[in-house]
Amino acid sequence: MRILLIDDSRTMRNIQKAVLTQLGYSEICEACDGQDALSKVGAFRPELILVDWNMPNMDGLAFIKAFRQTNRTTPMIMVTTEAERSRVIEAIKAGVNNYVVKPFTPDLLSQRIAETLAKAGAAKVA
Amino acid sequence: MDASYIKPFVASIQNVFATMMQLPVSLGTPHLKTKPGASSDVTGIIGLSGDVIGTVALAFSEATASRVVALFGGQQLATDNPDFADAIGELVNMVCGGAKAMFTNKRVSISCPSVVLGAGHLVATPQDTPCVVIPCTSDCGDFAIEVAIREAAVPTKPVAAAAAQA
């Protein structure tokens, strides 16, 4: 499975990559902000996207809105420090499928990835 | 400064360090920073804007910062490695993000983090804003969180009104 990781912090990308690797995913592409991610989605064709909110150049919310204009199906999980209920609603309205608040444990991130992919799989079958 | 502005940072720093590094943090008694204050070697700084404005800094000695970064990032890094500052920035980002979520009925935004590296530097804060220092103790060493924030003179739109417009 091809997974796109979008976060301006390389440390955070490495932490998430370690979780994904442990789950058996190895085809991982990294982007450091929304603009970088938009330039990579065409060639990489991700099947799952993990995206941070606060990033320079183009933030996660702007990326999601831009990406969803042409892609309604690829599941996206927002992984962010933005924990307020109003922010979660804003992100879901923009098109994310699931939400993880930093700080997170590896178990929590794994669980969210599993449930997101399960729902996306179910949607495909339906 | 209103104590309700300090409690979120106390809770958030313990949560971030415990969740990401399984590192318990003990807190000392918060006190007002005296001018010019204690120096540090590595400082992560974030700005707050909206209904609450000011800065929040995580201040470490080099030795403590090195141990914290090694635990957080899973590898020992030299202070001049760009990933070292990145890790400190992400930590202060998580601490402030967690704290701002606990400010009820206030609209607060946080900036992208900045990290200052340099032996014995001082972090200055605006003269019209009191700075509360919260001493922290951990197995990685002692460090401090410095909270210099206050209510904005002109509050932004009430949360409920803004949500209704969205």
Q: Of B90, B96, B128, whose CA–CA distance to B109 is shortest?
A: B96
Q: Could you tell me which chain B residue has the CA closest to the CA of A107? A: B19
Q: Which range is least confidently modeled, A25-29, B17-21, B144-148, B161-165? A: B161-165
Q: Which of A17, A65, A81 to mutate to test the interface with B (most CBs of B within 10 A)?
A: A81
State the Cα angle at B97 between A51 and A53, rounded to 5°: 20
CA distance A55 to chain B (A): 7
Residue type, A81: T
Is the model's pLDDT at B129 over the cut of 60? yes
Q: Of B98, B129, B130, whose CA–CA distance to B30 is shortest?
A: B130
Q: With contact defined as beta carbons under 8 Å apart, do B41 and B80 qualify?
A: no
**What is the rounded CA–CA span in Å between residue A116 and residue A79?**
13
Mean pLDDT of B138-159: 84
Q: In terms of DSSP bridges, do strands A2-6 and A48-51 run parallel, antiparallel, or are they unpaired?
A: parallel
Q: State the DSSP code for B113.
A: P
3-class DSSP state for residue B61? coil
Contact with chain B for residue A81, Cβ under 8 A: yes
| pLDDT tens digits, one per residue of B73-125 | 999 999 999 999 999 999 999 999 999 999 888 889 999 999 999 999 988 88
Q: Of B56, B31, B37, whose CA–CA distance to B135 is shortest?
A: B31
Q: What pLDDT is recorded for position B164?
A: 47
For the record, the structure tokens of B79 come out as 């202070």
Total domains in chain B come to 1
> What interface predicted TM-score (ipTM) does this complex get?
0.88
**Which residues of chain A have a CB within 8 Å of the CB of B159?**
86
pLDDT greater at residue A118 or residue B158? A118
Whether residue A11 and residue B163 make contact (CB cut-off 8 A), yes or no, is no
Other C-beta atoms within 10 Å of B161: how many? 10
Q: What pLDDT is recorded for position A122?
A: 67
State the Cα angle at B91 between B159 and B111, rounded to 5°: 45
Q: What pLDDT is recorded for position B127?
A: 82
The mean pLDDT of chain A is 94
* DSSP per residue, B17-53: HHHHH----EE---EEPPSS---EEEEEEEEEEESEE
* Domain coverage including residue B152: 3-165
Give the 3-state secondary structure of chain A. CEEEEECCCHHHHHHHHHHHHHCCCCEEEEECCHHHHHHHHHHHCCCEEEECCCCCCCCHHHHHHHHHCCCCCCCEEEEECCCCHHHHHHHHHHCCCEEEECCCCHHHHHHHHHHHHHHHHHHHHC
| pLDDT tens digits, one per residue of B37-69 | 778 999 999 999 999 999 999 999 999 999 999
Reported as a pLDDT band with limits 50, 70 and 90, residue B163 is very low
**CATH of residue A22:** 3.40.50.2300
**Which residues of chain A have a CB within 8 Å of the CB of B87?**
9, 11
Q: Could you tell me which chain A residue has the CA closest to the CA of B22? A: A105
Contact with chain B for residue A90, Cβ under 8 A: yes
- What lies within 8 Å, CB to CB, of B164 at 6+ separation is none
Total domains in chain A come to 1
* Domain coverage including residue A80: 2-125
